[in-house]
Amino acid sequence: MVASAFKSPWPRLGFGVGLRAEHYDDVLGGPPRADWFEAISENYVGTGGRPLDVLERVRRDRPVALHGVALSIGSAHPLDRGYLADLAALVERIQPALVTDHLCWTGVDGRSLYDLLPLPYDEPTLAHVADRVRRVQDVLGRRILLENPSTYLAFRHSTISEWDFLAALAERADCGILLDVNNVYVSAHNLGFDPLAYLDAMPAPRVAQIHLAGFTDMGTYLFDTHSAPVHEDVWRLYRYTIARLGPVPTLIEWDADIPAFGRLLEEMERAGREAARAETQTAEEIRDDIEGRTAAGPARAATLARGARAASEAV
């Protein structure tokens, strides 16, 4: 049950899936079966050919979000002006509903490590990243969203929690938040914090999109592989999120062991059902479910215990 009548300033997109080359023929072969699609920006910037043609055809029928992995907003090195110019051109061409990237850094000295690396969360980093977000938004002429990463270590000298850092960054830079509920779960497990504390800190006016995905349990930690269905615990956190924030546009990410398009759509349709179910519950009822007043509790307690052990071994 949505607690407030808050009117979001962001587009109401509904339920979508990531646009992947494996599904191009399915997506173009009939009427759109998703409300919207998310395309990885780097697959389309500074290039042409079939991928861009497909993206433009998809965009004619449905809203598209551009989701980047190369902005490196947290890097200490200068913003890549060439990349930003290419991204601005793609934004102009596609007119996406949302432009997003990650709260991370990805390399040094012009060399990419092809990974989304974590930042220390402290005041100097907050000021640094907020300044860079504002400059990116000036170049693009629009607000962007930043996504919470999956994390496997924490910096000892961090002075701010990730959730408070992200909320403060959104306010200071006047940007939005792409809240990946699976990443919250994975990071909570790996670092030993309470995922509900994270979700409670998310400011409703700033959360413009939600990601859901599946992870791989590596035994000693959870690995954000995007290779599996959404975990049942993550569905519970998703319902809690929707009950708190309202109908935020939601997207299923599935990037490895990619299933048939129909299976991907089934996962998206479940997101619709879970969101509708959240409309019939209060956030407090869902919290009770998660915190162990029902059968869900022991699993979460075990999850947090494992996470606490993992955090004690963190950097």
For Fe ion, the binding residues (CB under 5 A) are 180, 211
Least separation in angstroms between CB 150 and Fe ion: 8
What is the closest distance, in whole angstroms, from the C-beta atom of residue 234 to Fe ion in the complex?
Answer: 12
Nearer to Fe ion by Cβ, of 38 and 289: the residue is: 38
Q: Where are the alpha helices (DSSP H) in the chain?
A: 24-28, 49-61, 81-94, 123-140, 162-173, 181-191, 195-200, 232-245, 261-278, 283-291, 297-312
Nearer to Fe ion, 101 or 274 (CB): 101
CB of 240 to Fe ion, least distance (A): 18
| In the complex, minimum distance from the CB of residue 252 to Fe ion, in angstroms, rounded to a whole number | 10
Q: In 10 A of CB 276, how many CB atoms?
A: 12
Comparing CB distances to Fe ion, the nearer of 40 and 88 is: 40
Residue in the shown chain whose Cβ atom is closest to Fe ion? 211
Q: Nearest approach, Cβ of 213 to Fe ion (angstroms)?
A: 6
Percent of the chain as helix, strand, coil, to the nearest 5:
45, 15, 40
Query: Judged by CB, which is closer to Fe ion: 206, or 211?
Result: 211
Least separation in angstroms between CB 253 and Fe ion: 5
Which of 41/287 has CB closer to Fe ion?
A: 41
Work out the burial of residue 75: count CB atoms within 10 Å of its CB; fewer than 13 is exposed, 13-18 middle, 19 or more buried.
buried
C-alpha distances in angstroms, 309 versus 195, 199, 231, 315? 16, 22, 21, 13
Query: Can you read off the two tokens belonging to residue 216?
Result: 């791989």
Q: How far is the CB of 183 from Fe ion (least distance, A)?
A: 6
Is the CB of 139 or the CB of 258 nearer to Fe ion? Answer: 258
Give, in order, the Cα–Cα distances in Å from 25 to each of 28, 41, 155: 5, 20, 44
Between 104 and 287, name the residue whose CB sits nearer to Fe ion.
Answer: 104
b/e map 226-263, b = 16+ CB within 10 Å: bbbbbbebbbbbbbbbbbbbbbbbbbbbbeeebbebee
